[in-house]
Amino acid sequence: MKDIISLFFAYARTGLKTRFQYKLDSVISTFAVFFREAAGIIAMYLALLKFDTINNWNIDELLFLFSLIFITYGIFIVFFMALRDFSDWIKHGVFDRVMLRPRGLLTQLVLCGADWLAAFGHGTLGIILFIISANRVGIEWNFGMAVYYIVVVISGVLIQGAVFLFFSAISFYVVETNSLKEIFYWNMRKFAIYPLSIYNKFIQSILIFVVPFAFVNYFPAQFFLRKADMAAYPEWMMYISPIVGVGLYALAYAFWRFSLRYYKSAGN
């Protein structure tokens, strides 16, 4: 474990030096990510000046919901960026180089691919949204609530990591998976930033059972906020995000291990 931690920090130092070789460009890129994502929040805020609520979720409650998406993605991109772009690693023969190193394949992918600029942009926005909303939504914070919040953040990271681990395993069969990621992750993520209850049953089912973004932010947020629209779902769904995160990641890992035997180099 000590060796893995040392390796992570070695990769982190190298990654930061690479990213900040051109300091001004790096700073501008980080702010570009921040303001690109913030633009959607600003648009939603301006809309709510006229409509007040979305399905009885006010602006502060929506900001709390959004914060979970951005914080979890900011952490996710530190550890799972290589999985996000894994089809490119196969197409360009980079994965062949990974296979020759004396470390576990998935360990290397988790440790070496951090996108620090995106992490800073998304993570900073998520933290700002959390700070703005956390004390304005009626949550009585105590030690237990704080611990559960940390647990659901970790769970949200694992859920998103599991989704991309599935895509990475599929890349062993078809190589190119960008279209699948666009449909099943990026488009679903756009739906997930709003309350699950505003969508029809088909979209709700996808966000619960197919790409379970509902357990990244909606059901964890319901644990803290107890909104009336939670009555449409079983109450236990508010509590199982940690189980979903660990279970889904374990399932994705098993699929990865099974699919790895079918890998064939695409060359470079």
Tens digit of each residue's pLDDT (9 = 90 or more) over 119-133: 888 888 899 999 999
The predicted model gives 40-59 an average pLDDT of 81
Give tens-digit pLDDT for 113-171.
677 777 888 888 899 999 999 989 988 899 999 999 999 999 999 999 999 999 999 99
The pLDDT assigned to 57 comes to 93
Average pLDDT, the chain: 85
Overall pTM > 0.95 = no
- For the cut 70, the answer to whether the pLDDT of residue 80 exceeds it is yes
- Rounded CA-CA distance 254/222 in Å is 31
Would you say residue 178 has pLDDT above 80? yes
